[in-house]
Amino acid sequence: MRVHSHRTSKECRAPARKQIKRMSMSFSAVSVPSSVSRPSYLCSSAYQFSFGAPANYFRSGSGGRVVLHGGPLHLCRKFCGLKQWILENLHRQHQRKLGPTNEYKSIKNQFKDHSTDQSGSTLSHEDDVSADSNDQTSKITSELEESSLPSSQPHASVTEPTTSVESPSMPQTHSSKFLVECGEEPSLCIAVIGATGELARRKIFPALFALYYSGFLPENVSIFGYSRKNMTDEDLRSMIASTLTCRVDHQENCGDKMDVFLSRTHYINGGYDNREGMSKLNVLMKQFEGKSEANRIFYLSVPQEALINVACSLADNAQTLKGWNRVIIEKPFGFDVLSSHRLTQSLRSKFEEKQIYRIDHLLGRNLIENLTVLRFANLVFEPLWSRTYIRNVQVILSEDLGVQAGRYFDGYGIIRDIVHSHILQTIALLAMETPISLDGEDIRNEKAKLLRSVRKLEPSDVILGQYKGSTRDKVDLFMNSLTPTYFAAALYIDNARWDGVPFLIKAGMGLIQHRVEIRIQFHRVPGNLYRERMGHNIDLATNELILRDTPDEAILVRVNNKIPGLGFKLDSPELNLLYKDKYNVEVPDSYEHLLLDVINGDNHLFLRSDELAAAWNILTPILNEIDKKNIAPELYELGGRGPVGAYYLWAKHGVRWAED
């Protein structure tokens, strides 16, 4: 069995390891007693292995030999047993022939120190193994080769010992690269910056617990809350405990897992100096991290005006050097194209693009994730996905008034908060070309190309609205603002696939119904034989693909069909896949989905810098007109259907709003 390994030049200088590398043996020749205990330092040698298949994977090599392909953890366990066997024989040889020399006593004492103090550094065999020890190792190796291998195979490879021994974790070495440690998984620290805010309390901490409860977080995870309030660990745990719930579909060990999760949650008062606060956070994280790879996630749930200071302080004082660091940033990502560019420059000066995750919770909905599946996994849809068959696309989103009212009126509005990220990202995923793979960067490449192809919006293609407030709803205080709460527009994509196809957007607050859906209307059947039997409104007989998220998640296909009976009447029913009827599972919250993507390094639902810039480029003409007060939003009744101007918009582009 052949073991392929890549080793550093420093390792190759070690005499004892040279002998180990050269030694060859068969399965039958080597037997490691199961009673042999191996100190953890024996696993800590800085071997750098490169393999093309998972551990414990075997296949036949040339000459009928078996070649082992495995990961570094697998090989570490094999060498642990092998080195222990050699050292045991070495010890016996010394006792039998030379007696316990001073050099061997020195080595033994160092071995003892390492086995009793796991926090110490790895034993350096290059410096501590004597020349006599090397001679004994060479002799043992020679005897093994002569006894176990035929002369026709002078270079046979090292084989696996017949008895496997469990491998304890090893101490950290002083190598500049991350070294494999037997049995120890990378630790994960997640810090919520702004832990006492509403978003953290209602969404982020419950999502983290849901992931932990469902087994998607590692056992050695630690959660940290960071804010300026004077609190203790128990105060933080009490604050978030009431927001944690277990999955209703199994409820197994709910109380026990909640207690464990809360015990892993810690609080730190960052004070008003973020640099000092982040340094304290870094020290606290190190206390909970192991000696192997340590990864960190920072969720910046902070106001936009504090974002740059917090991010820069974090980058300089709280990043780990033993693993990856990822930073989550909440929308909106700037106020306009200029402020967004400055924000991006500040972040890119401290972080790599792959470290930055710009999160929009609406993109974590199952509807969005299913867009690419429907397109690229179903032959019935993919050939139709172009201007040849699709007449128009409608993206409709109406939200509850809820707690977000103040956010719309404080200067951002529905364009910066909803349209810039969620609506344009939905269109990008729906209309992009086929990526070369499902890798996040490949998908984001196609999204960026699509967004750069979207024509800049003109004021004549946009309808803005603002709902009328009332004293009871306490929103009339904001009526002096021109910030829109309703946005309708017709977008056009100037490329070969979508030339001339209008993408109609309608997003608003306080409308008659809470709904989120995408409607894809196909062209009418050319020369339709049944035109006269479809009634006066031919649009009602148009084939549609409807992807609905709210109120009930579903995939609907509208087809024309004959009504049963003696007459010949046609109907346009909807073939439906209603999720609540088909799948008896609880749908995870969107924050759970997106946080899991961050942990896994899947960034395809997060905006990249060039996507961000392309989206601002589309909306900037309209934002400039609003800032110059050249466009005033039309008032509409709270709980109504929105501005009347939206109906003129669909008439202009020859498209009827589907739900009307």
Residues annotated as catalytic are 422
H-only helix segments in 183-323: 198-199, 205-213, 233-241, 254-263, 274-288, 304-317
Please report where in the chains the tokens 């979207």 appear, as a residue: 454
Angle at 165 between CA 162 and CA 170, to 5 degrees: 135
The four Cα atoms 634, 636, 640, 643 give a dihedral, to 10 degrees, of -20
- Residue 253, sorted as left (phi over 0), alpha (psi -120 to 50) or beta, turns out to be left
Q: Judge contact between 618 and 454, C-beta under 8 A.
A: yes
Please report where in the chains the tokens 């910030």 appear, as a residue: 483
- Residue 29, sorted as left (phi over 0), alpha (psi -120 to 50) or beta, turns out to be alpha
Angle at 652 between CA 650 and CA 653, to 5 degrees: 65
Query: Would you give the DSSP letter of residue 38?
Result: -
> How do strand 265-269 and strand 294-300 relate by DSSP bridges?
unpaired
SS3 per residue for 155-166: CCCCCCCCCCCC
b/e 490-504 (16+ beta carbons within 10 angstroms → b): bbbbeeebbeebbbb
CA 623 to CA 625: how far, in whole Å?
5
Helix then strand count (H, E) for the chain reads 22, 20
CA 593 to CA 303: how far, in whole Å?
23
Angle at 609 between CA 608 and CA 610, to 5 degrees: 95
Instruction: Name the residue among 175, 172, 227 with its Cα closest to residue 200.
Output: 227
CA 102 to CA 111: how far, in whole Å?
14
The four Cα atoms 200, 205, 211, 214 give a dihedral, to 10 degrees, of -140
The CA distances from residue 222 to 238, 241, 651, in Å, are 17, 16, 56
- Reported in sequence order, the residue ranges of 475-535 that DSSP labels E, i.e. its strands, are 486-492, 502-509, 515-522
The CA distances from residue 606 to 333, 448, 591, 602, 633, in Å, are 12, 12, 12, 9, 30
Residue 230, amino acid: N
Residue 580, amino acid: K
Total residues found in the chain within this entry: 660
CA 476 to CA 479: how far, in whole Å?
5
- Residue 251, sorted as left (phi over 0), alpha (psi -120 to 50) or beta, turns out to be left
Instruction: Name the residue among 130, 132, 91, 138 with its Cα closest to residue 112.
Output: 91
Q: Kind and range of the H or E element at 319?
A: none
The CA distances from residue 659 to 203, 341, 637, 643, in Å, are 31, 38, 19, 15
Burial (Cβ within 10 Å: 0-12, 13-18, ≥19) of residue 587: middle
Q: Judge contact between 432 and 450, C-beta under 8 A.
A: yes
Count of beta carbons in the 10 Å neighbourhood of residue 380: 9
